[in-house]
Amino acid sequence: MGTFNYNDTTLYNLRMLYEQLGYKRYKMSKFEEYDLYLEYKKFLSTENIITFTDLNGKLYALKPDITLSIAKNAKPGETQKLYYKENVYRASAETKEYKEITQLGLEYIGDIDPYTLGEVVLLAARSLHSISESYVLDISHMGLVSALLDEARLSDSRKEKLVSFLGKKDAHELRFSCEKYGVDSDVTERIVALCEIYGDFESTYGQIKTLATTPAMLEAVKELESVYTFLKASGEGAHINLDFSIVNDMSYYNGIIFRGYIESVPCSVLSGGRYDNLLVKLGKNCQAMGFAVYVDMLELYAKHEKEYDVDVMLCYDSSVTPVQIAEKASEYTAQGKSVKVMPYVPDGLKYKQLVKFSEEGESVSDGIS
Amino acid sequence: MEYLNIALPKGRLGERVYEMFEKIGYGCPAIREKNRSLIFENEENKVRYFWSKPSDVAIYVERGAADIGVVGKDILLEYEPDIYELLDMNTGKCRMCVAAKNTFRDNSEKTLRVATKFVNIARAHYDKKGRNIEICKLNGSIEIAPILGMTDVIVDIVETGTTLKENNLAVIETIVPISARLVANKASTKFKNEQIADIRRKLAEVIEND
């Protein structure tokens, strides 16, 4: 336990998972007009976009994000279930380097009913499950968080501050700031309590029920429960945690949001939620939700099973013919072994067996480890 | 159960904090032995400690090499790592300050020259005021800069103020109070929640009773 494998079949399995439920692949171009990102900057997790001018002098960007492009093309009244596997481009603020990141994601655009809500969250959970047995899907509800923060009656900038402390689970600063801003003490206690909630759904659900007082909050709590019931019935209930420190930008996200982790990767590998507000901002009257899998993180932290470059290093000399060498090599490949065939042993190669092949026959020795 | 990796800052603060961990049953006797080991384990309570440069603790925690760690708020403000800040340890207390020579007069007609290790904190502080500044990044002995007239002021941590006083410098503004924080890697908090929650709860009790 604790490690997971990532290989060519990982992505294939995820795609099959989505296709089985009728999600269609959506292939897109690499470029987008820069204006789009300028306008919806806060929706992106990055501010560092790689731009260039086209031949007519128009400013374009290498896509830093796919969701925005899909949402832009949404047609109200039409339901779309799609997934994508694309490269996105970002500039790292820290190292000043350009990065190409593979992203696999799924989007649902159309009316969202309780079934659809459950289906998308379930697919997120199953995506994690297909990568590792040891995974966690944290769920939060923006409706609950923002309704509770609204009770504090603060300006947007102060509310944003509280949200950032919530995101760091910094109960101390949260309490301190609430007191500084003169927030009602009962509301302060409830905000701090929200921050401290963490754990599997069943043991924490009771706590959020006591925090919810207004109809909007009760509605949110009910939605969380209905999603959990759906996931539990599908066998993924044990991996679902409530965590209100997941904070996405409130002006775009509403409703259920979630983030996925698998053991031995130090950061989240999946993130998503409901983003009706983005579509409203794009002037479209429809609902949407989705998630993305951070394939680059999986690649980076996957355990590398292979301790050897090849099973067999087949080293030949000029006394044997090419046909003989090929026959010898296929003896090993027929056993399911990988064979590197060269007249000499390259520097730094790690192999299980060394086979020296000449007209006198073959001599087999163990590799260096 | 898997080991819980804990990063502590080298120096006085780290030692004080280690004693707190010892008090709540997460000690590691090997750490007291005088040798050149870099990493110390206690098989009984499954903890593994290592000392690191204070500014690196946040990096070890963010990247998951350490599940939890203790680091000053100054580092967290400067580097903004993507981690949880679980507890104010109520130790390592000091202030992030603007200091200058006793004779300093703020001439708002001119760009203010600022020497500091904490570039982001200094910039954010003066941006808020809309003051035009020029930052000179130094890595230590910041106090020398205004004495030699290289900069007008410094932005730095002040604990007792003795160094400042002895060099005819004085605090002219406090930016933010600083103390040590218990921090945790986000993913570790999911998979080692029991241990981390236990440590947090027990440390909170120790701090409360202090």
- Which of B62, B64, B84 is closest, CB to CB, to A168? B84
Q: Which residue of B has its CA nearest to A135?
A: B191
Q: What pLDDT does A75 receive?
A: 86
pLDDT at A290: 95
Chain B residues close to A297, C-beta within 8 Å: none
pLDDT band at A2 (very low <50, low <70, confident <90, very high): low
pLDDT at A188 over 50: yes
Give the containing element (helix H, strand E) for B206. Answer: helix B193-209
Q: Is pTM, for the whole model, over 0.80?
A: yes
Q: Quick one: which of B195, B64, B65, B190 has its CA closest to A259? A: B190
Backbone CA torsion sign across A166, A168, A171, A176: negative
Cβ–Cβ below 8 Å for B185 and A266: yes
> Is a pLDDT exceeding 60 seen at residue B53?
yes
Q: How far is CA A364 from CA A315, A318, A333, A334, A361, in A?
A: 10, 18, 16, 17, 10
Mean pLDDT in residue range A292-310: 84
Q: Residue A163 to residues A190, A290, B187: CA-CA distances in angstroms?
A: 14, 22, 20
Does A60 have pLDDT greater than 70?
Answer: yes
Task: Please write the tens of the pLDDT for every residue from A311-362.
Answer: 899 999 999 999 999 999 999 999 989 999 999 988 888 888 899 998 888 8
| Rounded percentage of chain A residues whose pLDDT exceeds 90 | 60
Q: Please give the pLDDT value at position B209.
A: 87
CA angle A145, A148, A152 (to 5 degrees): 130
Span B5-42, pLDDT tens digits: 999 999 999 999 999 999 999 999 888 887 788 899 99
Task: Compute the distance between CA of residue B27 and CA of residue B40 in angstroms, rounded to an integer.
Answer: 10
Q: How many CA atoms lie within 13 A of A329 on its CB side?
A: 18
**Chain B neighbors of A170, CB-CB under 8 A:** 84-86
> Taking the CB of residue A108, how many other CB atoms lie within 10 A of it?
23
Q: In chain A, whose CA is at the least distance from the CA of B200?
A: A196
Question: What confidence category does residue A37 fall into, taking pLDDT thresholds of 50, 70 and 90?
Answer: confident
Contact (CB<8Å) A199/B64: no
Among partner residues A172, A198, A267, which is closest to B187 by beta-carbon distance? A267
* Chain A positions with Cβ closer than 8 Å to B: 2, 134, 136, 138, 168-173, 198-199, 241, 245, 261, 263, 265-268
Residues A77-121: tens digit of each pLDDT: 889 999 999 998 888 777 778 888 888 999 999 999 999 999 999
* Range A212-220 average pLDDT: 92
Query: Which residue in the set B65, B186, B191 is minimally distant from A267, CB to CB?
Result: B186
Please state the length of chain B.
210
Query: Where in the sequence of chain A do the CATH 3.30.930.10 domains occur?
Result: 8-304
Smallest CA–CA distance, residue B82 to chain A, in Å, is 8
Tell me whether residues A261 and B62 touch, CB distance under 8 A: no
| pLDDT tens per residue across span B121-155 | 999 999 999 999 999 999 989 999 999 999 999 99
| Minimal Cβ distance to B191: which of A263, A267, A268 | A263
Q: Do A261 and B84 touch (CB under 8 A)?
A: no
Q: What is the mean pLDDT of residues B65-81?
A: 95
Nearest to A169 among B64, B65, B85 (CB): B85
What's the rounded mean pLDDT across residues A160-166? Answer: 92
**By CB neighbour count within 10 A (0-12 exposed, 13-18 middle, 19+ buried), where does A195 fall?**
buried
Q: How confident is the model at residue A368 (pLDDT cuts 50, 70, 90)?
A: low
Cβ-Cβ pairs closer than 8 A, A with B, add up to 48
**b/e sequence A128-150, b meaning 16+ C-beta within 10 Å:** bbebbebbbbbbbbbbbbbbbbe
Residue A1 banded pLDDT, cuts 50, 70, 90: very low
pLDDT for A217 beyond 50: yes
The percent of residues above 70 in pLDDT, for chain A, comes to 97
Q: Which option is the CATH number for A8-304: 3.40.50.11290, 3.30.930.10, 3.50.50.60, 3.10.20.30?
A: 3.30.930.10
Query: Residue A56: what residue type?
Result: N
Taking residues B87-105, report their average pLDDT.
94
Residue A45 has pLDDT above 80, yes or no: no
User: What ipTM describes this predicted complex?
Assistant: 0.84
Q: Do B191 and A134 touch (CB under 8 A)?
A: yes
Residue B43 pLDDT exceeds 80: yes
What is the spatial distance between Cα A2 and Cα B89, in angstroms, rounded to a whole number?
30
pLDDT in tens, B181-207: 999 999 999 999 999 999 999 999 999
